[in-house]
Amino acid sequence: QKEVEQDPGPLSVPEGAIVSLNCTYSNSAFQYFMWYRQYSRKGPELLMYTYSSGNKEDGRFTAQVDKSSKYISLFIRDSQPSDSATYLCAMREGGSEKLVFGKGMKLTVNP
């Protein structure tokens, strides 16, 4: 079993839809959880950063972490064509600088 599992998709939704992206993990020592957005042929950019369990909201984006289920989610409300990108989850143990990434989910939002 891989440390981090992420459905690679692709996922296609109409503009305005609510999008849910998810990752599961097996390492209970992970404490810090991130979502990166990567446009085609570009470097990833940090979208959300959360510590331990709970929710974090930033505009149309909400990140959720459920450590008991080893499950993290990213919700995008009122999705826009500009949200079309690959979304990567990443996580690390406390005190470690090494990130472990999911494979990335390609999202297309159709106008």
Provide the binding-site residues for another protein, judged by CB under 8 A: 6, 8, 32, 34, 36, 41-46, 49, 51, 88, 90, 94-99, 101-104
Contact 21, 107 (CB under 8 A): yes
CB of 91 to another protein, least distance (A): 12
Closest to another protein by CB, 34 vs 74, is: 34
Closest to another protein by CB, 15 vs 58, is: 58
CB of 102 to another protein, least distance (A): 6
Structure token pair of residue 95: 């005190």
Q: State the alpha helices, DSSP H only, in 16-99.
A: none
Measured between alpha carbons, how far is 75 from 83 in angstroms, rounded to an integer? 12
CB of 109 to another protein, least distance (A): 21
Measured between alpha carbons, how far is 67 from 25 in angstroms, rounded to an integer? 9
Three-state secondary structure call for residue 92 = strand
Closest to another protein by CB, 41 vs 68, is: 41
Closest to another protein by CB, 41 vs 59, is: 41
Contact 47, 38 (CB under 8 A): no
